[in-house]
Amino acid sequence: MRSNVSSLKEDPTPRPVTITPELAEDLLSRTAVNRRLDMGVVDFLAETIRRGEWQLTHQGIALDGPLESGSLVDGQHRLYAIIKADTAVRIFVFEGLSRSAFSVLDTGKRRSGADALSQTGEKYVTLFSSTIRHVILFKTVPELPWSGIRARVTNDRTLKEYNANTERYRDSIAVGRNLSKQIFTTPTAAAAGYFLTTEAAPFAPVEEWIDGLVSGANLKAGDPRLALLKVPRDPRRRGTKKRFDSKEQMAIYIKAWNSWVENEAVVNLRLKKGEKMPIPIELKRANGTSERRSEI
């Protein structure tokens, strides 16, 4: 039976090409149809290129004719990113794509970090993905909003972080799920907070910290763990009806941890207006024991 699929000669022809910043500028000068430029997307892709995370995939650029003379139909954000990163990358170029195809480009669902982690066999891939994302954002853009295109984390970066710290993330997920039942934070905020604080202070008596939060028994007034337990489940920003987001929940968790490590008495845990994200206190081992002082 004869196929009704177009012959290969009539189809757009893809081929991998090294696109330099100079070639990117030339191609952009031949733009035929394109969406409005989103500089957030450009910045995100440029950072991906700078970090060496760019990979050759089927997603490339498309022209309505040959590379040397065709007009650009799709791929302007990738080309602007190449220019901004000032780095050449390998990318598939589709030559001979009809301009009428523009209306159906990029209409599919973008794969999430959880989708990328599904291949690992982990049970809580969504929680793994969100925890890893929060850890990366804490380390890279602690003072910027953690929403929007500028806060996107590539799936490749998520997988690399997971593979580099698999066991620590597994432990953090287990602790985060448990602590979220005791304190006001989400499992993501608790897991990310636990990961970051124990990374900074690997020799701190973590079991003592966790036991105090889980049982709440015999905690003296001023103990930061008691203050953390007393933060209401539905905390609101002062003067608003908006709840604390996961970034702010992490900040409160880290503040409590820092005070506990430093033996500082705390009665009420709160975030001041404009307060920066606290940095977990580093606690190194000294003479075979933790440097943390005696209990409050």
Instruction: Give Cα separations from 148 to 100, 110, 144, 153, 154 (angstroms).
Output: 30, 14, 11, 11, 13
Cα-only R_g, the chain: 25
Burial 128-138 (b: 16+ CB within 10 A, else e): bbbbbbbbbbb
In a 3-state reduction of DSSP, which class is residue 285? strand
Query: In 3-state terms, what secondary structure has residue 3?
Result: coil
pLDDT the model gives residue 126: 93
Query: pLDDT digit string (tens) for 206-247?
Result: 999 999 999 988 899 999 999 999 998 876 666 556 678 999
CATH number for region 10-100: 3.90.1530
Do residues 133 and 113 lie in contact, with contact meaning Cβ atoms separated by under 8 Å? yes
pTM: 0.66
Q: Which helix (H) or strand (E) holds 162?
A: helix 155-164
Q: Which residues contact 282 (CB under 8 A, 6 or more apart)?
A: 200, 201
- Tell me what pLDDT residue 293 has: 41
The pairs formed by 211-215 with CB atoms below 8 angstroms and a separation of 24 or more are 213/179, 213/182, 213/183, 214/178, 214/179, 214/182
Cβ-based neighbours of 257, under 8 Å, separated by 6 or more: 193, 197, 209, 224, 280, 281
Long-range contacts made by residues 147-154, C-beta under 8 angstroms, separation at least 24?
A: 148/40, 149/38, 149/40, 149/41, 149/43, 149/44, 150/40, 150/43, 150/44, 152/44, 153/113, 154/48, 154/53
Domain residue spans of the chain: 10-100, 113-287
pLDDT score at 239: 58
**Separation between Cα atoms, residue 85 and residue 90, nearest integer Å:** 14
What CA–CA distance (Å, rounded) separates 186 from 173? 11
Can you give the pLDDT of all 296 residues of the chain as single tens digits?
333 333 334 567 789 999 999 999 999 998 866 567 788 888 889 988 998 888 888 888 888 888 998 888 888 899 999 999 999 999 999 988 876 655 445 544 466 788 788 878 899 999 999 999 999 999 999 998 898 877 888 888 899 999 999 999 999 999 999 999 999 999 999 999 999 999 999 989 999 999 999 998 889 999 999 999 999 887 666 655 667 899 999 999 999 999 999 999 998 888 888 889 999 999 766 544 445 443 44
